[in-house]
């Protein structure tokens, strides 16, 4: 009995002594140095709760260098450089502000890491003007594009779209940077090239050579565009004995008008009168022949002009003045009075019956404005910077035949002004199945084509060169 009791006491002492030494003393490593990771054993009496180890916080998301900027009044000023390593943790939200000139377009984007999902908002004068959550179904970063209506400061707000913390990069950049000329370090002045303004091709293009001259009907007036690097050629058949006049009507572009016959130049005109920039040229056709009408821009000007070539009535001849006739008597004759005679020329007229005169009908002008936009924020309505430029738009008749073609401008707008009663619809060839009915002779400003963010066709072609478009 005593042997068993001493054996139990000995075993208890053998287990307890290392634990006591671990609590009261410092453990030693095998090489004699201090153990960097001591093990602490805590004896917990029965019936009490046991402590559970928790992380120390090392490796968690920490506030970034711009904190505190959780309010618009404390927004961090930024330029157009990328700010990396920014964080959102807890209830944190980050405000930034930047300065824009009127008309400048800024694109602000976030690139997210570590499971962060951002929501990006843009404010102007305290009003929310743009917002984006996810850049695409597979990218939870955000992108917003905004055009400044005036000089001033915009405010960008970056916040969490979910409960998860994380790291992100903020990337502000101008969408259309303004080119700044740089002076060349040379004694000889170097001419600075002036960028050619972008013009939409007109209905006659390509007609940049006599071989591709656009046929026109005498008496019909149409609108075209011309500028630096573009020359427009037209052609029609001039009938012998008729008097013709070709003219451009514009106050935008300084035109130079040249008419060429089969073997020689018929005439050239720059300005029709003092203070005008459009042109007028009239001539009498002595033989039937095809003529070429050349229109070009002078002095780097560009813009729209109207062209019409038509048969005009020749100016009437001035009335003949009376011719005095004096009779002088001879020596053997009695003197007589002087008599004034008026010579009258007999005019032969040929009357040809041409039928009943038909009243001239005026074709009303149909105005069409189509807006094509990419619904980046899925709000089902066009927003700033969502217009798609250089998209081909056709105006067609009831049989689907093209009447006119134009490309959308930088804001995504396609504008037609057509004097045709045959137009029925407008279509966008690269959005199959879509068309919009047109009210002939009225103003159609309410036509909108929105492309959802998840369905934007990546193959949507755009205009590359003006000279290559028809």
Structure confidence by residue, pLDDT tens digits, 279-301: 999 999 999 999 999 999 988 78
How high is the pLDDT of residue 34? Answer: 53
Reported as a pLDDT band with limits 50, 70 and 90, residue 247 is very high
CA triplet 289, 295, 298: central angle to 5 degrees? Answer: 150
72-174 and 210-312 share one fold:
yes
- Under a CB-based contact definition with an 8 Å cutoff, are residues 231 and 294 in contact? yes
In order of 413, 428, 438, the CA distances from 392 in angstroms are 11, 6, 17
pLDDT tens-digit series, residues 112-166: 997 899 999 999 999 999 999 999 988 999 999 999 999 999 999 999 999 889 9
What are the sequence ranges of the domains in the chain? 72-174, 210-312, 366-453
In order of 179, 180, 181, 411, the CA distances from 195 in angstroms are 10, 12, 11, 20
Average pLDDT over the chain reads: 79
Q: Cα–Cα distance between 302 and 298 in angstroms, integer?
A: 8
What CATH number should be reported for the domain whose range is 210-312? 2.60.120.380
Q: Which uninterrupted H or E stretch holds 5?
A: helix 2-24
Question: Which of the four CATH numbers 1.10.600.10, 3.40.50.2020, 3.30.2350.10, 2.60.120.380 does domain 72-174 have?
Answer: 2.60.120.380
How high is the pLDDT of residue 370? Answer: 92
Q: Which of 159-168, 381-390, 450-459 comes out lowest in average pLDDT?
A: 450-459
pLDDT at 16 over 70: no
- Under a CB-based contact definition with an 8 Å cutoff, are residues 234 and 204 in contact? yes
How high is the pLDDT of residue 262? Answer: 87
Domain 366-453, CATH 3.40.50.2300 — does that match?
Answer: no
The arithmetic mean of pLDDT across residues 250-276, rounded, is 90
How high is the pLDDT of residue 24? Answer: 44
Q: What is the pTM of this model?
A: 0.30
- Under a CB-based contact definition with an 8 Å cutoff, are residues 63 and 88 in contact? no
Reported as a pLDDT band with limits 50, 70 and 90, residue 454 is low
How high is the pLDDT of residue 467? Answer: 38
How high is the pLDDT of residue 11? Answer: 46
Question: Between 168 and 57, where is the model more confident?
Answer: 168
φ, ψ dihedrals at 11, nearest 5° = -65, -45
Cis link prior to 68 (omega < 30° from 0)? yes
């Amino acid at each position: 009995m005593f042997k068993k009791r001493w054996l139990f006491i000995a075993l208890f002492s053998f287990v307890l002594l290392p634990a006591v030494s671990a609590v009261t003393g410092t453990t030693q490593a095998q090489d004699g140095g201090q153990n960097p990771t001591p093990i602490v054993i805590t004896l917990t009496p029965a019936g009490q709760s046991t402590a559970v180890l928790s992380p120390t916080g090392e490796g968690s998301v920490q506030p970034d260098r711009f904190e505190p900027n959780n309010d618009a009044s404390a927004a961090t000023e930024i330029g157009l450089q990328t700010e990396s390593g920014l964080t959102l943790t807890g209830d944190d939200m980050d405000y930034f502000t930047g300065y824009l000139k009127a008309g400048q377009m800024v694109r602000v984007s976030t690139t997210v890491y570590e499971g962060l999902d951002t929501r990006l908002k843009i404010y102007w004068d305290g009003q929310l003007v743009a917002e984006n959550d996810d850049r695409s179904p597979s990218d939870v970063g955000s992108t917003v594009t905004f055009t400044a209506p005036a000089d001033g400061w915009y405010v960008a707000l970056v916040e969490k779209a979910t409960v998860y913390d994380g790291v992100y990069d903020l990337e502000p950049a101008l969408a259309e940077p303004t080119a700044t000329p740089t002076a060349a370090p040379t004694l000889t002045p170097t001419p600075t090239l002036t960028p050619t303004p972008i013009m939409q091709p007109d209905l006659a293009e390509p007609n940049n050579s006599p071989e591709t001259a656009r046929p026109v009907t005498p008496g019909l007036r149409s609108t075209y565009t011309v500028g630096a690097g573009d020359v427009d050629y037209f052609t029609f058949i001039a009938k012998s004995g008729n008097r013709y006049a070709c003219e451009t009507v514009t106050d935008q572009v300084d035109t130079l008008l040249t008419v060429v016959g089969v073997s020689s130049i018929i005439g050239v005109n720059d300005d029709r009168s003092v203070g005008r920039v459009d042109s007028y040229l009239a001539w009498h056709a002595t033989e039937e022949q095809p003529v070429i009408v050349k229109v070009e821009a002078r002095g780097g000007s560009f813009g729209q002009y109207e062209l019409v070539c038509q048969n005009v009535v020749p100016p009437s001849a001035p009335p003949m003045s009376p011719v005095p006739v004096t009779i002088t008597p001879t020596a053997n004759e009695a003197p007589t009075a002087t008599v004034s005679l008026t010579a009258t020329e007999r005019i032969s007229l040929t009357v040809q019956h041409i039928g009943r005169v038909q009243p001239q009908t005026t074709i009303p002008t149909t105005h069409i404005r189509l807006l094509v936009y990419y619904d980046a924020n899925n709000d089902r309505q066009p927003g700033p910077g969502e217009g798609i430029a250089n998209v081909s738009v056709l105006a067609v008749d009831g049989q689907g035949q093209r009447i006119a073609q134009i490309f959308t401008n930088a804001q995504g707008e396609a504008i037609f002004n057509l004097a045709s009663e045959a137009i029925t619809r407008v279509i966008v060839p690269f959005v199959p199945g879509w068309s919009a009915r047109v009210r002939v002779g009225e103003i159609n400003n309410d036509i909108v084509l929105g492309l959802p963010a998840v369905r934007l066709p990546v193959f949507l072609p755009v205009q590359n060169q003006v000279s290559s478009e028809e």
